A and B are shown apart, each in its own frame.
Chain A
Amino acid sequence: MLLEERDYFTDRVVLKDPYDYFAELFSKDPVYQPKLRDVMFVTGFEEANAILRNTQDFSSVIAVTGAAVPLPFKPVGDDISAQLEQHRHEVSGSDILVTYDGPRHTADRALLTSLFVPSRLKANQAYMDELAEKTIRDVVARGKCELIQDVAVPYVTLVIADLLGVPADDRDSFKEVIAAGPPPGNIDAEEKPHSNSILEHLARHFVGYVQDRRAHPRADVLTQLANAQYPDGTIPELSAIVGVAVFLFAAGQDTSAKLIGNCLRFLTEDKALQQQLRDDRSQVAGFIEEVLRLQGSTKVTFRVARRKTKVAGREITAGQKIVIALSAANRDPRRWEEPNEFKLGRKKVQEHLAFGRGAHTCIGAPLARAEVKTLLDRLLQYTSDISLSVEKHGPPENRKLDYEASFIIRGLENLHLELKPGVGGNS
């Protein structure tokens, strides 16, 4: 069976290896529509870049719900901008920042940019160091762990909670709620509305924080967020502040936790690489970039054409839904030499599209890089060997690994590690 005959949105063979599927589409055309769906797949680097940067012709409104769900209206004519705005609220997830377009997106995003500047991350670094140190010492002492749910998810949740200034007493409840929720883009629930229950729980807390800090300002991050102004000096509605804060939790959890899993997959399957990084931990940052390129935790993102336009000479009709395969663009042989090979030190590797590009570039990318680097650094420091559990995942020649059933997220559901203590202490 040709991979093309499989349905990207529901097929478990494609879920396990989306890269072969995308490579097959790319070999036909970097902008290609498989027969199964009225959806255009963009697998080329330049083509993906062009669409990501073009907010005039392409809308992000379907970024959460995905390209497989029908639009709530029948597109008419060569410019559906007015129709799209009229029906925007009917699109699932359209109250979330990633789906905003134009000035509203620019303004709400601006509320967040100050949270991710280097000096703020530096302030957050001390907490990350302390948390990573404690977390890794604990699991190394136990000699084993399930990395994703037991280590990565709690770690990234607590880090973003610290960055936003969530009181320590509330952090555990956030951790529990997030750990219990499914990731976005569940392949078994394609037609169902996006589950917002986690976001609602977080929103209730943030409404309280923002109201409190607006009434009683303190010298903390929540006060700064609560009193953030739009670039034109106007004060955002309470709901806008709560929306962007909650969005940060939702967007950063699965992606960062899965990135940690994808990194450890590489390290455990290539022991020479593992030792190389342990011997010289200054290479960890470059290692993460190459993992982001080859196995970034966001496989795809979605756009819909608001106007009739062209991409790389191919006509796109207004209303055309598009899958931008970030993970395929990151393996485009026209951009990357030996694209499927893991190579440390690729030139300009940070130009990969794992965090997207253009107006919707992942705002948390600097945090993701810092928190993953911090955790890997400690893990390598305190171990002499990290291996996959043969009992749980089988022998190297026949690994059993379960990928999260999502058409958006690329990451393992669980990863059981065995850890041999090292000399530690050396930094």
Chain B
Amino acid sequence: MPRLMVVTRAGEELSFEANPSSSVMEAIRDSGIDEIAALCGGCCSCATCHVHVDPGYVAKLPPRSEDEYSLLHGLGTFKDNSRLSCQIRVADAVEGLKVTIVPEE
């Protein structure tokens, strides 16, 4: 199973194996990290699973959809490497993908 690296809001780096059939949001939640609210449950509707993708991995992921971009770009914490973690499939993620959980708005 692919490994993910997650940087929590406290700055702690955690690495774990992720289920390839899940989204990165689901994988983070299943690992026991409880910093992602994911209020909408993963259908690209609430922007509470916002992460910054480590710059080295951005281009290796399938691009953001228009839905995803339109939710993200209104956030104060938006950056070029912003993603909604519910919209990244673990199966599409490269080994060692590193994301940072963005502080709450």
Measured CB to CB, the residues of A under 8 A from B are 53, 55-56, 103, 106-107, 109-110, 113, 115-119, 230-233, 350-351, 355-363, 365-366
Residue picked from A55, A231, A351, most chain B C-beta under 10 Å: A231
Q: Which of B37, B41, B43, B86 contacts A351 (CB 8 A)?
A: B37
| Known contacts A231-B89, A359-B29; is-contact A117 B22 (Cβ 8 Å) | no
Q: Which 6 A-B pairs have the closest CB atoms?
A: A361-B41, A116-B43, A366-B45, A117-B44, A231-B21, A118-B67
Q: Which of A53, A109, A230, A361 contacts B40 (CB 8 A)?
A: A361
Q: Which of B37, B41, B70 contacts A365 (CB 8 A)?
A: B41
Q: Which of A103, A358, A363 contacts B19 (CB 8 A)?
A: A103
Residues of B within 8 A of A53 (CB): 29, 34
**How many residue pairs, one in A and one in B, have C-beta atoms under 8 Å apart?**
73
Q: Which of A55, A56, A106, A362 contacts B21 (CB 8 A)?
A: A106
B39 at the interface (CB under 8 A from A): yes
Residues of A within 8 A of B66 (CB): 119
**Shortest Cβ gap from B39 to chain A (Å):** 6
Residues of A within 8 A of B21 (CB): 103, 106-107, 110, 230-232
Residues of B within 8 A of A358 (CB): 29
Q: How large is the interface on B (under 10, 10 to 19, 20 to 34, 35 or more residues)?
A: 20 to 34
B91 at the interface (CB under 8 A from A): yes
**Shortest Cβ gap from A43 to chain B (Å):** 20
- Not counting A106-B22, A361-B39, a sample of 16 additional A-B residue pairs whose C-beta atoms are within 8 angstroms of each other reads A103-B22, A106-B19, A107-B21, A109-B42, A117-B43, A231-B20, A232-B21, A232-B91, A351-B39, A355-B41, A358-B29, A359-B26, A359-B29, A360-B41, A361-B38, A363-B41
**Is chain B's binding surface mostly helix, strand, loop or mixed?**
loop
Q: Which of B26, B34, B37, B46 contacts A106 (CB 8 A)?
A: B26
Q: Which of B20, B40, B46, B70 contacts A232 (CB 8 A)?
A: B20
B30 at the interface (CB under 8 A from A): yes
| Known contacts A110-B21, A117-B67; is-contact A366 B89 (Cβ 8 Å) | no
- B20 and A117 within 8 A (CB): no
Residue picked from B44, B66, B70, most chain A C-beta under 10 Å: B44
B58 at the interface (CB under 8 A from A): no
Residues of B within 8 A of A362 (CB): 41
Given the complex of chains A and B, what is the CA–CA distance between A106 and B21 in angstroms? Answer: 7
Residues of A within 8 A of B20 (CB): 231-232
19 contacts between A and B (CB under 8 A): A53-B34, A55-B30, A106-B21, A106-B22, A107-B21, A110-B21, A116-B43, A118-B44, A119-B65, A230-B21, A231-B89, A231-B90, A231-B91, A359-B26, A361-B42, A363-B41, A363-B43, A365-B41, A366-B40
Given the complex of chains A and B, what is the CA–CA distance between A418 and B91 in angstroms? Answer: 55
